[in-house]
Amino acid sequence: MAAFFKRHRAVHIWFLCDLALFGLYWLAAGSRQSANAFSGFTQQLKDGWACLWYLFPFSVVEWFYAAFILGIVVWLAVLFHRVRTWKGRRLEGAYGCALGIACMFLTASAIYALGWGVNYYADGFQEKSGIYAQPVTAADLERVTLYFTEKLAETADRIPRDQDGVFAAPQDEIFAASVHVYDNLSQEFPFLSRRDRVPKKMLFSRLFSAMNFTGFYSPYTGESNLNVDSPACLLPANIAHELAHQRGIASEQECNFLAIAAATASDDVVYQYSGYLMGYIQLSNALYRADRDRWAAIRALLPEPVLADLRYHSAYWAQFDGLTAQVSTKIYDSSLKSYGQTDGIQSYGTVVDLLVAYY
């Protein structure tokens, strides 16, 4: 037995290190005070090493993921080789490789939990701002939805459009303007103030569309990554969402709210329009469930350019309604719940309560 453990000492040490990392995570997430302290510390770390990864013009974390998948494939190849050739020691060879594969997943999960998962147990936007989601009446919901509809009508004609009347603001200009999207909102909420970097465009954007992702923040590299294949009309608001994560806000509902609030408060009309459109989609979906007649009356007020963007948006995502999207949504839903987000992916819908409370 001693000889067995000696032969697999490296992978056993690796496994124990993973357990230690998870132990540190459980300690950090054990109380609001410790979570606040630890998340502040890791935020400094992520901002520090992000300086390195932002030197590259492409999304570095995409290639990290590719390397991780390649590493799993190599480990599996070694496992099959050992099972086939280690006569008399096949189980031992398989054990070493299987534990190595498990350790790769455990290490990635532990780093994510420490670098990001702790944030779910720290103070979020609501605690820091004092603005809390409140129960919503149909009348209040109707009033705020109407407000967003009127703002869309004011800004829609100021947006560049293609021959089909669909949103066509240049991508490069949208990304370049992103570093100022929180300037005005940060004056109202100083804890949101920070120096932003231009987010990264994802090379595998189409693949992420198939998984129902419009972007993600990577705690491994500190990068904000955006899907540039999905409809451009919501790209500015999606950028603002990922930049909210850059501020240590973990809750998806709060980041959706901040994306809308920051974009609509910005000086850039393209961001304003995108923010009002994202807000309208959230609010009108809720109003449709609450009172279909009120929803129909307000939707009839939308000008044709806005309707063109909504039609394009719906048609784009309809093509990805399939098993891949369902599986990825289920996995992400389970991930949210594992960090105490009890509504899972439905927490995206509760942004309506915050919008009504704020506007």
User: What confidence score (pLDDT) does residue 171 get?
Assistant: 96
User: What confidence score (pLDDT) does residue 343 get?
Assistant: 54
User: What confidence score (pLDDT) does residue 101 get?
Assistant: 85
Structure tokens at 90: 């096949």
Strand partners, 216: 225
Confidence of residue 344 (pLDDT cuts 50, 70, 90): very low
What is the number of other CB atoms lying within 10 angstroms of the CB of residue 104?
16
Least confident window among 136-140, 202-206, 275-279: 136-140
Q: 40-59, pLDDT tens digit by residue?
A: 999 999 999 899 999 999 99
Place of tokens 């491994």: 220
Whether the per-residue pLDDT at 279 is higher than 60: the answer is: yes
Confidence of residue 345 (pLDDT cuts 50, 70, 90): very low
User: What confidence score (pLDDT) does residue 245 get?
Assistant: 96
Share of the chain above pLDDT 70, in %: 89
Contact 199, 225 (CB under 8 A): yes
User: What confidence score (pLDDT) does residue 350 get?
Assistant: 77
Q: 102-117, pLDDT tens digit by residue?
A: 998 999 999 999 999 9
Contact 122, 35 (CB under 8 A): yes
Helix ranges (DSSP H) in the chain = 2-7, 9-28, 32-53, 60-85, 90-115, 125-129, 138-155, 171-177, 183-188, 205-210, 235-246, 252-265, 269-290, 292-299, 304-318, 323-338, 351-358
Stated pTM of the model = 0.88
Confidence of residue 218 (pLDDT cuts 50, 70, 90): very high
- Check residue 199 and report its DSSP letter: P
User: What confidence score (pLDDT) does residue 196 get?
Assistant: 95
The 3-state DSSP class for residue 201 equals strand
Contact 53, 60 (CB under 8 A): yes
Confidence of residue 1 (pLDDT cuts 50, 70, 90): low
Q: What is the mean pLDDT of the chain?
A: 89
Query: Residue 77 contacts by C-beta under 8 Å, 6 or more apart in sequence?
Result: none
User: What confidence score (pLDDT) does residue 224 get?
Assistant: 96
β-pairing verdict for 200-201 and 223-226: parallel
The 3-state DSSP class for residue 110 equals helix
Q: Rounded to whole angstroms, what are the CA distances from 137 to 290, 329, 357? A: 9, 29, 11
**Average pLDDT for residues 98-102, to the nearest whole number?**
85
Contact 252, 269 (CB under 8 A): no
Least confident window among 22-36, 125-139, 176-190: 125-139
Confidence of residue 134 (pLDDT cuts 50, 70, 90): confident
User: What confidence score (pLDDT) does residue 9 get?
Assistant: 84
Whether the per-residue pLDDT at 346 is higher than 50: the answer is: no
Give the gyration radius of the chain's Cα atoms: 23
Contact 252, 348 (CB under 8 A): yes
β-pairing verdict for 223-226 and 215-218: antiparallel
Share of the chain above pLDDT 90, in %: 72
Whether the per-residue pLDDT at 333 is higher than 80: the answer is: no
Give φ, ψ of 273 to 5 degrees. Answer: -60, -45
